[in-house]
């Protein structure tokens, strides 16, 4: 399994924790690091060429902005991918799991913006993290890749795209 990671948004310690977690489950984790747009396509290609059978695209602004490149390249290489934003499954990815971006903006960012506009100092606004995560599965992509998604995963999914 490969991980596509933006070096500007994840620490080496976090990547090591992900690799250790994979190893404890008998998986070899290949980390493909990127720091700019021009590296994304080559990193996905390198993952596939290194023998990765799937890729986990971690959440970052760089990777989200370049989602079209990622979706296109993983589709061309027929490399199953899980994304950290559920919306990616709707855009053509296999699986998306994480906070819904629209909900995140509405529930957290908008509330914090209102506080700022009311004059609250940024340092006085607590950091908030999403509390609701969604699982979206794209069965069209699974069919294209000749993959069978376990029924237990489909039953847990918040949205199944057929």
pLDDT tens, residue by residue, 10-40: 999 999 999 999 999 999 999 999 999 999 9
- The CATH-assigned architecture of domain 2-99+132-161 is 3-Layer(aba) Sandwich (3.40)
Question: Which residues make Cβ contacts (< 8 Å) with residue 121, sequence separation at least 6?
Answer: none
Question: Which residues make Cβ contacts (< 8 Å) with residue 26, sequence separation at least 6?
Answer: none
Question: Which residues make Cβ contacts (< 8 Å) with residue 120, sequence separation at least 6?
Answer: none
pTM: 0.86
Check: CB of residue 60 under 8 Å from CB of residue 74. no
pLDDT tens digits along 53-85: 999 999 999 999 999 999 999 999 999 999 999
Among residues 97, 96, 93, 98, the alpha carbon closest in space to that of 141 is found at 93
Pairing of strands 30-34, 134-138: unpaired
């Amino acid at each position: 399994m490969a991980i596509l990671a933006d070096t500007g948004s994840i620490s080496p310690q976090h990547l090591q924790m992900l690799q250790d977690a994979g190893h404890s489950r008998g998986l070899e984790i290949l980390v493909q690091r990127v720091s700019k747009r021009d590296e994304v396509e080559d990193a996905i290609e390198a993952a596939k060429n290194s023998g990765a059978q799937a890729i986990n695209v971690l959440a970052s602004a760089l990777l989200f902005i370049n989602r079209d490149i990622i979706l296109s390249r993983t589709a061309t290489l027929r490399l199953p991918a899980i994304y950290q934003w559920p919306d990616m499954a709707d855009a053509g990815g296999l699986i998306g799991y994480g906070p819904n971006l629209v909900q995140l903006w509405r529930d957290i960012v908008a509330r914090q913006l209102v506080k700022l506009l009311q004059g609250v100092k940024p340092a006085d606004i607590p950091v908030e993290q999403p509390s609701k995560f969604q699982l979206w599965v794209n069965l069209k992509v699974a069919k294209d890749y000749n993959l069978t998604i376990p029924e237990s995963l489909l039953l847990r999914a918040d949205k199944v795209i057929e």
